[in-house]
Structure 1
Amino acid sequence: MIKYLIEKEFKQLFRNPFIPKLILLFPCMIMILMPWAASLEIKNIRLDIVDGDHSALSRRLVEKVMASTYFHVKACPDTYDEGLRHVEEGMADIVLEIPRDFEKDWMTGRSPRLLIAANAVNGTKGGMGSSYLSSIVSDYARDLAEGGERSASSVVRLPQVEVQTLNLFNPRLNYKLFMVPALMVMLLTLICGALPALNVVGEKEAGTIEQINVTPVGKFTFIIAKLIPYWLIGLLVLSICFLLAWALYGVLPVGHFLTIYFFSIIFLLLISGFGLVVSNYSSTLQQAMFVMFFFILILVLMSGLFTPIHSMPRWAQTITYINPLRYFVEVMRTVYLRGGGILDLLPQLGALVLFAVGFNLWAVVSYRKNS
């Protein structure tokens, strides 16, 4: 019996000329565009430099800033007020002011002061841009000190503390290594969560589900027949994502692919079961679409996909414990970046199994079969 039900689901799916194309094109577009668009790396920051000193040292500082790939120098206004006006008009993001007597203060042993004024409407861009610029200025000051630019009458140089930074798991700080595994989770959620819900509700509107309701097919068999096709589709989409991540970005998991597939099987059953729960309580396609959009938006934003969970308020962190996407995002990033195995992910495994069993039992119980 279940064989024919699964066959019916595949025929019904491929009868629609749009859905199969969407299943193939959607992961391609997400994997090609999103790693470039959904990036928290800050580059091409528009910078105005106000050089009030016009000395050799100030010119070298300007050249060092202009050599950075993070900044794009838009103008060199004569006054700070002019640079500030450029920020207010949206022509610049940061103003760096080099005061008069910059070189004189340095040569006489005094500490010259620079002013960095950042547009903080976009807090991330303003904060990161100021941090990048401060780092460049600090490197420049250290180069001057090591080069003996100070006069012989300057204070005795104190020993410097050398700091060596070792970036674990992502040595080059490549943001795509952080985003690509999480985007795979979002793809599986959108495709294997929304499609089962819309499929069942579509049958309700068309009246074809009544033909199933009057047969001896049990509720458990009906739900399993709905889950298996989307489980297979999810594994296909995941394999396409693996191929695109390797071909486009050279991103391969440090861990084993089998670990990812193992957790993916559980997650696909979980998210498809959630979609079926939504379909059981929805009467129209519009209702199902809005309910799925509501939940998926919240689940994605609270999963740590774009922002770290530990950066959220305490109450928001508590809410994420009932978000199944949180655990699968942790699994994907752990396997991809740190090479973790199943034994390292036992808490996430337990949570995903619990959610999968809960949602699918809920889907079976809430399905109203009129015999």
Structure 2
Amino acid sequence: MRTLKFLLQKEFRQIFRNKSLLPLLFVVPIVQLLVLPLAADYEVKNINIAIVDHDHSSYSQKLVSKIGASGYFKLTDYTSGFNEAFRQIESDQADLILEIPHGFERNLIRENEQKLFLAVNAINGVKANLGGSYINRIIADYNSEVRLEWVQFPKFSPIPTIEITTSNWFNPSMNYRFYMVPGILALLVTMIGAYMCALNIVKEKEVGTIEQINVTPVKKHQFILGKLIPFWVIGMIVFSIGLFGIGWLIYGIVPIGSLLLLYAYLAIYLIAVLGLGLLISTYSETQQQAMSVAFFFMMIFILMSGLFTSIDSMPQWAYTITKISPITYFIEVMRMIVLKGSGFANIQYHFLIMIGFAVFLNGWAILNYKKTR
């Protein structure tokens, strides 16, 4: 224990003396957590739409006004020629074209039906799907309003309808930041654990001090614990700053579940990702190699962890990869505890899996670490 104490003192002094490392550990994650949730928002607004109105009737004007008042669309062009509107799409100034034909009002009143033409720029598939869905819903609502105007109530025989009342659980305000902040915080903690731990040990190789340590009476487990514990503590501190300093004070996210349970899972998770960083360092001889390998894993973690897209919609091979990624489980646990208030019974399976990750990654790293004495 005395040897470990001196090693920890040495590590903490090295970390806090490194003026370039401290901003990477504390300032950069805070800035990222402030900025990323504002940009990572799948609620598409300000969709550019060009409207081709061949009718110029009161009914077509009401439809155009309803589209503009929805808050989702920005009218970029209002013309009577389709070719002019199509040039808006070609120059990326419009995402959709809605064409209202001649006789729109007349046919709607006399024949009780009318067709509209909708052209969607599908280069951005997500924006195209959402934009098409929004405009279809607006047209459907407009159609219902028009039919209600025509109803003659004394002669009207009510048709049975089904009314749906929605209740939004766990995120009643439908604020997308409540969903993204826990996931981004989990990713930032992962980066600190995997990146910094790997680079710290590889730096010892580059400057040659690890050879001096290898010939000392310091045991292998003492050296490894001396490297892991400081970043475990820093990971806890950064997580606390992100959860309370940013999540609670800035975004108003109050964890519903048990904080003790959340920190217990975080403690095991940090051991697992620090084991990954340690494993990377055993295979790397330079910091550049360690950064390249860590970046490879982080890209997989970011894109295939369920942070931005649902893993249930992935193909089977991709779904399998996500299930062997530790951050997938941590993001899920973060959202379950913080937003849903899940208890231990709901995440006991996640605890067992993360313990398995911690034992496997650290065990592999320890076996692969070579010490001369």
Structures share a fold, TM > 0.5?
yes
* 2:345 matched residue in structure 1: 343
Find the aligned partners of 1:204 and 1:33 in 2 and give their Cα distance. 35
Find the aligned partners of 2:337 and 2:116 in 1 and give their Cα distance. 45
* 2:215 matched residue in structure 1: 214
Contact 1:213 1:370 in 2 (8 A): yes
Find the aligned partners of 1:235 and 1:51 in 2 and give their Cα distance. 59
Find the aligned partners of 1:134 and 1:352 in 2 and give their Cα distance. 45
* 2:105 matched residue in structure 1: 103
Which amino acid in 1 is paired with 2:172?
P
* Aligned mate of 1:5, from 7, 10, 29: 7
How far did residue 297 of structure 1 move? 0.9
Matches within 5 A, 1:205-244: 205-242=206-243, 243-244=245-246
* Aligned mate of 2:319, from 317, 320, 325: 317
Aligned length: 369
How far did residue 300 of structure 1 move? 2.0
Which amino acid in 2 is paired with 1:107?
I
Contact 1:273 1:356 in 2 (8 A): yes
Contact 1:106 1:150 in 2 (8 A): no
Find the aligned partners of 1:311 and 1:88 in 2 and give their Cα distance. 31
Unpaired runs of 5+ residues, structure 2, are none
* Aligned mate of 2:271, from 269, 272, 278: 269
User: Helix, strand or coil for the counterpart of 2:75?
Assistant: strand
* 2:370 matched residue in structure 1: 368
* 1:134 matched residue in structure 2: 136
Find the aligned partners of 1:347 and 1:115 in 2 and give their Cα distance. 51
Matches within 5 A, 1:1-371: 1-146=3-148, 148-149=149-150, 158-242=159-243, 243-371=245-373
Larger mean CA deviation between 195-204 and 74-83 belongs to 74-83
Unpaired runs of 5+ residues, structure 1, are none
How far did residue 156 of structure 1 move? 7.3
User: Helix, strand or coil for the counterpart of 1:95?
Assistant: strand
Find the aligned partners of 2:133 and 2:109 in 1 and give their Cα distance. 26
How far did residue 256 of structure 1 move? 2.1
1:94-130 deviation digits (Å, cap 9, x = unpaired): 1111122221222125221122211000000001011
Find the aligned partners of 1:78 and 1:328 in 2 and give their Cα distance. 54
User: Helix, strand or coil for the counterpart of 1:359?
Assistant: helix
How far did residue 189 of structure 1 move? 0.9
RMSD: 1.7
Larger mean CA deviation between 137-146 and 10-19 belongs to 137-146
Identity, in percent, stands at 44
How far did residue 184 of structure 1 move? 0.7
Find the aligned partners of 2:291 and 2:342 in 1 and give their Cα distance. 36
User: Helix, strand or coil for the counterpart of 2:249?
Assistant: helix
